[in-house]
């Protein structure tokens, strides 16, 4: 069996050992030679993910094509499908992870609670929306192309049009959303195979810094609050989205908890940062289950192997030198598993993560925080 993966980042890199273990051959299309995934695959094509010729070379003789990101133009995926390439998730599902406006409309149609939203073309549209929802604070989002908080901007309309960032109202469709005053962010990760089998991991809490995920706690603490079972609520929503959209592979559903309700923020149809804990904290990792799903194999158990697992991202900053910091970081706690992505350090970039599992959550948070600080080069 030969699987093609579009993307040269850490998600494709972390699929590599799972391909090896299952004896499945893989070919990747990476944007740059020397990238995170390029370092670990033998069969590599270097090129842009919107270059049709490169996509066709990647697709030649494949059994299935999948992705580590959502940036391949949807028309090009459809063209591959018309040429009988098997693509999972397919273009008709992936569109809802590529276009936040289409996603919002679809969720509304499905009666899945989400932030109120509108599409605007100018500043007066932003003001009108803010007046309608009776709030000065709104969230502006590029409908397409954003990631890791890029393309998301919390805006107070009292600051006026001159304070809008460069990318807003510059051609791309602009989504304006109600700014949710959430108590925390949760993520439900489910995996659906091309045979329709559906499994789910425990719901996790994600903590962001500057719009970028920093910490994940698996499972999210206090999922049962009074009469509300947030785990059940989140998983039911995620499973119905996976089924309705016929997603094949991993589906991550990011949500806001506000009072007793959960509102869906975002969908991702690929292994997701909120699922890195599964590499050491679950029987089957999200990367293995994504591969099993797109290859039509039975899915593996998603059961946790520890009471708690904490995942802490290592985010680059001024002074980060992973090579120098690694020896001290590994001395901190022998239970910790450090996973570095082979990327050069630059500010805010995800360079790796640390997973640690055990019984005492506050201790795990403190240890993972210390290890990531040492690796990031903080004093
Ligand atoms: P990206 O696609 O860049 O990951 P998201 O839509 O997931 O963008 O937004 C990134 C982060 O911004 C979220 O995790 C959340 O912390 C914040 N955010 C996004 N939308 C809203 C909203 N409507 N209300 C409040 N915070 C939001």
Per-residue pLDDT of the chain (379 residues; tens, 9 = 90+): 999 999 999 999 999 999 999 999 999 999 999 999 999 999 999 999 999 999 999 999 999 999 999 999 999 999 999 999 999 999 999 999 999 999 999 999 999 999 999 999 888 899 999 999 999 999 999 888 776 667 789 999 999 888 888 777 776 678 999 999 999 999 999 999 999 999 999 999 999 998 899 999 999 999 999 999 999 999 999 999 999 999 999 999 999 999 999 999 999 999 999 999 999 999 999 999 999 999 999 999 999 999 999 999 999 998 899 999 999 999 999 999 999 999 998 888 999 999 999 999 999 999 999 999 999 998 6
Whether the CB of 70 sits within 6 Å of ligand 1: no
Whether the CB of 86 sits within 6 Å of ligand 1: no
Give this prediction's pTM.
Answer: 0.96
E-assigned strand segments in 210-328? 212-218, 224-225, 228-229, 249-258, 261-268, 308-315
The residue count of the chain comes to 379
Whether the CB of 177 sits within 6 Å of ligand 1: yes
Where do the CATH 3.30.1490.20 domains begin and end in the chain?
116-178
Centre of ligand 1 to C-alpha 202, Å, is 21
Three-state helix/strand/coil letters over 135-197: CCEEEEEECECCECCECEEEEEHHHCHHHCCCCCCCCCCEEEEECCCCCEEEEEEEEECCCCC
Q: What is the torsional sign of CA 351, 266, 234, 286?
A: negative
Whether the CB of 288 sits within 6 Å of ligand 1: no
CATH class of the domain at 184-376: alpha beta
Centre of ligand 1 to C-alpha 3, Å, is 32
Decide: 65 and 86 in contact? Cβ < 8 Å. Answer: yes
Mutation probe of ligand 1 site: the residue of 115, 135, 152, 167 with most atoms within 8 A of C-beta: 152
Where do the CATH 3.30.470.20 domains begin and end in the chain?
184-376
Dump the DSSP string for 319-352.
T--HHHHHHHHHHH-TT-EEEE------TT-EEE
| The domain over range 116-178 is classified in CATH as 3.30.1490.20 | yes
Pairing of strands 2-6, 25-30: parallel
Whether the CB of 265 sits within 6 Å of ligand 1: yes
Ligand 1: atom nearest CA of 181 is 25
Centre of ligand 1 to C-alpha 141, Å, is 9
Where do the CATH 3.40.50.20 domains begin and end in the chain?
2-87
Whether the CB of 274 sits within 6 Å of ligand 1: no
pLDDT tens-digit series, residues 96-130: 999 999 999 999 999 999 999 999 988 889 999 99
Question: Beta-carbon neighbour count of residue 372 at 10 Å?
Answer: 24
3 state DSSP class of 24: coil
Which strands form 43-46's sheet, in the order they lie side by side?
A: 43-46, 25-30, 2-6, 64-67
Q: What are 200's strand-pairing partners?
A: 190
CA angle 326, 328, 332 (to 5 degrees): 110
By the 10 Å C-beta count (0-12 exposed, 13-18 middle, 19+ buried), 333 is classed as middle
Dump the DSSP string for 240-259.
HHHHHHT--EEEEEEEEEET
CATH architecture of the domain covering 2-87: 3-Layer(aba) Sandwich (3.40)
């Amino acid at each position: 069996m030969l699987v093609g993966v579009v993307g040269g980042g850490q998600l494709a890199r972390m699929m590599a050992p799972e391909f090896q273990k299952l004896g499945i051959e893989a070919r990747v299309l990476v944007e740059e030679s020397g990238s995170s995934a390029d370092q670990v695959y033998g069969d590599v094509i270097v090129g842009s993910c919107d270059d049709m010729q490169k996509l066709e070379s990647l697709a030649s003789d494949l059994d299935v094509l999948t992705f580590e990101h959502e940036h391949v133009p949807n028309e090009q995926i459809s063209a591959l499908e018309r040429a009988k390439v098997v693509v999972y998730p397919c273009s008709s599902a992936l569109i809802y992870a590529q276009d936040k406006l289409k996603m919002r409309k679809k969720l509304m149609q499905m009666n899945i609670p989400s932030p109120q939203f509108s599409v605007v073309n100018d500043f007066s549209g932003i003001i009108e929306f803010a007046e309608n929802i009776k709030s000065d604070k709104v969230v502006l989002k590029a409908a397409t192309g954003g990631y890791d908080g890029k393309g998301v901007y919390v805006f107070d309309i009292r600051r006026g049009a001159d304070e809008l960032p460069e990318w807003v109202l510059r051609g791309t469709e602009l989504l304006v959303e109600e700014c949710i005053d959430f108590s925390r962010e949760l993520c439900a990760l489910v995996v659906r195979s091309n045979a329709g089998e559906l499994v789910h991991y425990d719901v996790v809490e994600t903590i962001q810094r500057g719009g970028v995920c920093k910490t994940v706690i698996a499972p999210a603490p206090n999922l049962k609050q009074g009469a509300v079972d947030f785990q059940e609520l989140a998983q039911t929503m995620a499973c119905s989205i996976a089924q309705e959209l016929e997603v094949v592979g991993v589906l991550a559903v990011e949500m806001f908890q506000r009072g007793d309700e959960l509102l869906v923020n975002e969908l991702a149809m690929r292994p997701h940062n909120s699922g890195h804990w599964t590499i050491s904290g679950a029987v089957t990792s999200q990367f293995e289950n994504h591969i099993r799903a797109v290859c039509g194999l039975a899915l593996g158990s998603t059961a946790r192997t520890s009471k708690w697992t904490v995942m802490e991202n290592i985010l680059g900053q001024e002074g980060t030198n992973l090579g120098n910091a690694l020896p001290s970081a590994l001395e901190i706690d022998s239970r910790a598993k450090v996973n570095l992505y082979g990327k050069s350090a630059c500010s805010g970039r995800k360079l790796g993560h640390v997973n640690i599992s055990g019984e005492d959550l506050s201790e795990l948070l403190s240890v993972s925080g210390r290890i990531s600080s040492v690796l990031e080069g903080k004093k």
